[in-house]
Amino acid sequence: MTQKYALAILGGTGNEGPGLALRWAHAGYKVIIGSRKADKAQRVAGEVNAKLGQDLVTGMANEDAAQACDIAVLTIPYAAQNALLDALKPLLQGKILVNVNVALKPPKVARVYIPEAGSSTEQAQALLGPEVRVVAAFQNVGAHALGDLDHPVECDVLICGDDKAAKAIAIEMAEAIGTRGIDAGPLQNAVAVESLTSILIGINIRYKVPGSGIRITGLPPA
């Protein structure tokens, strides 16, 4: 059995965070939902626990969650990313940050936006410094797919990063939610993965579907 890490989902109270919390807690990870407000985090953790039928997920202020975790997962709007990571930088040193954030430029979120840093993920790595191992993952997994344990998550997860061990952990986290985690190369490639999210948002709008996703063909069976 692989080691199950303590995960803190920073900003885990929104669309994407609770579904990830649900799936990871169900798979045996210790999960903390983080928020700017501890009471909001506790309320959302309670909602996730109600779905699980067990009190597995806890809620804390982002700072306490970042302190308590082995691995932090970032799920906040891109525009708020720098300020939160700047505040949490000392607490994240030596840890892994799984970046689910996507560089989007509202209101045209169905158009690819490439920030100066290359991607949200490279921006996070540059801000946090080399002692935090940042990986890009789950950026193409829509919130809609995550919230119901009776329905499998029908997509692959592309994972980019410069640290092989951190990527292997993110691949395990993808497998834990029932998806296939695929090593998609170095952190520099996160720009392509994040860009795909804008394409998927546009597909959802044009085809009137709640959550299109991606699959890679041509690989040996998982």
Ligand X SMILES: NC(=O)c1ccc[n+]([C@@H]2O[C@H](COP(=O)([O-])OP(=O)(O)OC[C@H]3O[C@@H](n4cnc5c(N)ncnc54)[C@H](OP(=O)(O)O)[C@@H]3O)[C@@H](O)[C@H]2O)c1
Site for ligand X, rule CB under 6 A: 11, 13-17, 35-37, 40, 75-78, 80, 84, 100-102, 104, 139, 141-143, 197
Distances (CA, A) of 47 to 17, 89, 184, 203: 12, 29, 34, 30
Please give the DSSP secondary-structure letter assigned to residue 78.
Answer: G
| Closest of 153, 147, 192 to residue 173, by C-alpha | 153
Return the number of the residue (137 or 166) whose C-beta is nearest ligand X. Answer: 137
Residues 6+ away with beta carbon under 8 Å from 108 = none
Q: In the complex, what is the shortest distance from the CB of residue 155 to ligand X, in angstroms, rounded to a whole number?
A: 11
Return the number of the residue (28 or 39) whose C-beta is nearest ligand X. Answer: 39
Tell me the torsion sign for CA atoms 28, 30, 36, 39: positive
Q: In the complex, what is the shortest distance from the CB of residue 210 to ligand X, in angstroms, rounded to a whole number?
A: 9
Closest CB to ligand X: residue number: 14
Q: In the complex, what is the shortest distance from the CB of residue 93 to ligand X, in angstroms, rounded to a whole number?
A: 20
Which SS3 state, helix, strand or coil, does residue 190 take?
A: helix
Q: In the complex, what is the shortest distance from the CB of residue 1 to ligand X, in angstroms, rounded to a whole number?
A: 29
Tell me the torsion sign for CA atoms 170, 173, 174, 180: positive
Return the number of the residue (11 or 220) whose C-beta is nearest ligand X. Answer: 11
Q: In the complex, what is the shortest distance from the CB of residue 201 to ligand X, in angstroms, rounded to a whole number?
A: 8
Return the number of the residue (1 or 99) whose C-beta is nearest ligand X. Answer: 99
Return the number of the residue (56 or 200) whose C-beta is nearest ligand X. Answer: 200
CB neighbours of residue 151 within 10 Å:
11
